[in-house]
Structure 1
Amino acid sequence: MKIAVLYGGTSGEREVSLSTGKGIVKALENKGHEVIGIDFQPHKLDEIISLQVDLVFIGLHGKFGEDGKIQGLLDMLEIPYVGSGVLASALAMDKAKSKQIFQLNGLQTAKSKTYEVHSDFSVEETSKDILASFTLPFVVKPNQEGSTLGLTIVKQEEQLEQALITASKSDSVILVEDYVKGKEVTVPVVGRQGEERALPVIEIIPKNEYYDFDSKYQPGGSEHIVPAELEGRLTQQLQNEAVQAHQLLGCSVYSRVDFIINEGNEPIILEVNTLPGMTPTSLFPDSAKVIGWSYDDLIQKFVELSAVEKKQVL
């Protein structure tokens, strides 16, 4: 097939996306595809509009890649692409909206509240409301951002105002939620819609205090235990809930679902990643290796699933 790979972009995850794109391009070439690599820039839409390809593989992360915007453009151009569509992408990117969907369907989430950053937004007044609503420690983060960018774990009151300022630089909506102490795990999901399966659960042991940007992307920044050393019942529950979350948002082909296992041994769902990282240190490929899928095989499987899904839609 002739496949265009979109990578780079303009979000805070640009460097990660460049690495993801490089890996995807190489894997597709190894599988015999003709590949066009595009460092996507919103002001250069002609590069997308003029594309003559069989499929687009989106290797973007964060805004303008993971939020449904590029998917909407490709839909209008009637160019098939790998992964979730506009609605699922937008819902997954909006942490507050996706949490509401999860709660309504019986998945356990951390208590949270959102605050809009508008012209008369007051850091002082917002801080007062947060302190009246939450008990320290709690998490302050942008509602629509990836890779923990703009996130602060607030342990002392004097940290709060700076945390709000930091989060507001990345988004017009700030999400505050209870800090859940426990094991960080993630579950990759892959498959045709309605026939998805969960891959082995991964436990993440970050070298830093929590799974921050450096822990995610620096070599040696975290340890991945695959499969996670959990009791069978809990493993099954995590896998079932990951598939359920993927389906509730209407995701397509693949996603990765993040959880915290709290001190009561209960899974607390954090978010669904519709375009999870595919760098050499990424989690999804680590899980796939356990069931015998090489990185190249994994990328090829996404292409094959996408071709089937788009044919069904057409």
Structure 2
Amino acid sequence: MSSFGVLRVALLAGGISSEREVSLKGASAVKKALEKLGHKYEIFDPAKDLSELAQRAKEFDCAFLVVHGPGGEDGTLQGFLDSIGLPYQGAGVLGSAIAMHKGISKNLYKLAGLKVPEGKVFSKENSFEEIREYAKKLGFPLIIKPATQGSSVGLSIVKKREDLKEALEKAFNIDNEVIVEKYLKGREITVGILDEKPLPVVEIIPKVSETFDYETKYTPGLAEEVCPAPLSEALTQKAQEYGLIAHRALKLRHYSRTDMIIVGDEIYVLETNTIPGMTETSLLPLAAKVAGYSFEELIQKLLELALREKIKNKIPA
């Protein structure tokens, strides 16, 4: 047990996004860790339990977020917790909102000196002809993805012009904005940050799909995750440095996980997750394990980071 003693934790899981099931799976793992650590917890679903949590906020020392996608990672839940004086792990309102929008994130990556795949954000107000012309100029294959979804939900690889409309409809059914982006073929890696320090690099090798899509991410056996990634020392250092730069550029705190792709000797930054997955197949716990943290130690570390935020900001008890 840490110097903080037995904690009373409001475990937030579920939510309203398409990643609800992933959230509930992660919460199941976190729940077991909290039990092993000897902490007390209660589960609250942001889809229906927030008014109850607001009334009972003083019963808890902190919240632990395992909610992904819109309504969980976009700053709305963080703002709610700030308003009721309950500290939580991970990015605050600003960082969460920035990182949730892939187009805004890309602009900040570029300003910070990081390379990103060429692409552009389009909304439903843009005509199909406009998007088609841009796609033609960019050249196929392309990536089409919703601007504010995680876990590769709604993502398509478009290899020819005839498939563009279907991919756009799929993405626009989920979001009001989509990103049309150059498809880069290379080695997929991800870099976790924990307490402002980079974790070992993980390489993701999909066994079936061409990309690390939703099914591949959450079905055991569909991808091989290698940690530490078999990269040169120079590439490893560069990837870890990029992970930290991305984390800081998006105004994040405590932890994050940034996905990248290696093409030749260049590393391109794709997106950053502010509440990385906590399921049995999740990548941040894997990297933390290689760095010497058991799953329980990782959860304890995140709880302590949340509580230090409370002390730093003098949130009233």
- 1:122 Cα deviation after fit: 3.3
The secondary structure found in structure 1 opposite 2:245 is helix
Is 1:39 the counterpart of 2:45? The answer is yes
1:256 match: 257
The secondary structure found in structure 2 opposite 1:272 is strand
CA distance in 1, matches of 2:53, 2:130: 41
2:291 match: 291
1:12 match: 18
CA distance in 2, matches of 1:105, 1:24: 34
Alpha-carbon deviations, 1:54-98, whole Å to 9, x = none?
A: 100010011100111100111111111111101101111100001
* Conservation of the 8 A alpha-carbon contact between 2:112 and 2:245: no
Is 1:128 the counterpart of 2:127? The answer is no
Amino acid at match of 2:23: S
Matches within 5 A, 1:20-31: 20-31=26-37
- 1:44 Cα deviation after fit: 4.1
* Conservation of the 8 A alpha-carbon contact between 1:95 and 1:144: yes
Matches within 5 A, 1:149-228: 149-191=153-195, 196-207=196-207, 208-228=209-229
CA distance in 1, matches of 2:178, 2:106: 14
2:3 match: none
CA distance in 2, matches of 1:132, 1:266: 25
TM value normalised by structure 2? 0.93
CA distance in 2, matches of 1:131, 1:99: 18
Amino acid at match of 1:270: L
2:4 match: none
Amino acid at match of 1:162: E
2:122 match: 115
CA distance in 2, matches of 1:132, 1:282: 36
Amino acid at match of 2:133: D
The secondary structure found in structure 2 opposite 1:40 is coil
1:73 match: 80
Is 1:49 the counterpart of 2:50? The answer is no
CA distance in 2, matches of 1:298, 1:44: 26
1:245 match: 246
Is 1:64 the counterpart of 2:71? The answer is yes
CA distance in 1, matches of 2:278, 2:211: 21
| Inter-CA distance 24–108: structure 2 relative to 1 (3 Å threshold) | same
Is 1:104 the counterpart of 2:107? The answer is no
Q: Number of aligned pairs?
A: 305
CA distance in 2, matches of 1:240, 1:296: 26
Identity of aligned residues (%): 44
- 1:153 Cα deviation after fit: 0.6
CA distance in 2, matches of 1:167, 1:4: 33
Amino acid at match of 2:55: S
Alpha-carbon deviations, 1:5-47, whole Å to 9, x = none?
A: 1111121111110011111111112111111112221x54312
Deviates more, 1:283-292 or 1:161-170: 283-292
CA distance in 1, matches of 2:303, 2:188: 29
CA distance in 2, matches of 1:108, 1:36: 42
Alpha-carbon deviations, 1:234-265, whole Å to 9, x = none?
A: 10011011011111111111100110001x22
CA distance in 2, matches of 1:56, 1:40: 12
- 1:127 Cα deviation after fit: 3.8
Alpha-carbon deviations, 1:143-193, whole Å to 9, x = none?
A: 0001111111110111000111000011111111110110000011011xx
* Conservation of the 8 A alpha-carbon contact between 1:203 and 1:225: yes
* Conservation of the 8 A alpha-carbon contact between 1:180 and 1:260: yes
- 1:132 Cα deviation after fit: 3.7
The secondary structure found in structure 2 opposite 1:167 is helix
Amino acid at match of 1:259: M
Runs of at least 4 residues off by over 6 Å: none
TM value normalised by structure 1? 0.94
Where structure 2 has 5 or more consecutive residues not aligned to the other structure, the ranges are: 1-6
